[in-house]
Structure 1
Amino acid sequence: MERGAVPLWNIANILTLVRLALVPVFAVLLLHADGRESWWRLAAAAVFMIASFTDRLDGQLARERGLITDFGKIADPIADKALIGAALVGLSLLGELGWWVTIVIAAREIGVTLLRFWVIRYGVIPASRGGKAKTMAQIAAIVAFLLPLPPGAAVVRWVLMGAALVLTVVTGADYVVRALRLRAGAR
């Protein structure tokens, strides 16, 4: 290994792989007994929260310790999208979240990923504060849907999901504008 090279096997990348490995565990817990047993839902929520925390932690460690790798740049967003996607699809399969919500969020995520590839030769579109807020809002909303809360909590769930949807659409539009500017500026 040359001097200054970041090893592929570092704590940030290992946390990313742990998050990716937790996705099927989370999905099994969520879908067990059609999602109707409280202890299984609590376990699914716990795994989801742990996996979500690894996202914040791996990024922080990578920046603080200089552990940023090309693998991490690719694997981290894949793990994030897999976790959020599994939660949304699972909740939609259980009939607790409309498929339209899952489709809007998935379309935004796929669209932003394609935009990044479209402009990659001109530069990188870094994650914005809005994008990070969008992720936090999605996580909060999903946790509210995962937890076996009383029926009166439905309004809280939908307020959180509404905020997540607004941030999802607004930041998606922001990425489109930023991609177009990056591409136009490079010409």
Structure 2
Amino acid sequence: MSLLDAFNTLKQSGFDAKKDKDYNPYKEIPDGEYLVSLDGVTHNAKNDRDFLMISFMVVQGEYEGQKESVFPSLATKKANGDPMPNSVIARGIAEIQLIGEAVGAPIPDSCFAHDNETDAYEAIVPVLSQAKNKVLKLTKKTTPNKRNPDYPYKNYEFEKAEQPRALDIEGENDPFKDSKNNVEVNGSDFPF
């Protein structure tokens, strides 16, 4: 896509910089089951807290091309410095392991054998990154957040999905098998 194409897309969307406060073409996907690909895994930091971000892209259906990111936490302390309950940390570990299994990149136990989440995230990123573009099923379910109703809880389930087959273009399926090895092309061969 060129810069001009992107500009035209923006204008066609009805965006007006004089009236609008922001532009975000990525609307959150609603609850449901989706076929997604693992789009990326990053270890980031914000406001002295680091986190793992695992991104997925919907690969078929009405929301094709939309992204969804999950942020499994391995933080051992709350923002106020109190210890994080083991059940919360265990949930983050389980979510990471479920994603790893669903994309065929099991997370070794050694990734969690660290004294802090920073080192664990650094160990997990290369393992999951090997499965980038692998396809899996993602089911999203939101539940109400009584303390902050504008931000419902997002719950995810991850399952293995059949991977697309690579095209076999060797041998009999090779569309160029009958062509000559040394083909010469000159200017008169082009239609322009």
Relative to the length of structure 2, the TM-score reads: 0.28
Higher-helix-fraction structure: 1
Higher-strand-fraction structure: 2
- Computing the radius of gyration over CA atoms, which structure comes out larger, 1 or 2? 2
Relative to the length of structure 1, the TM-score reads: 0.28
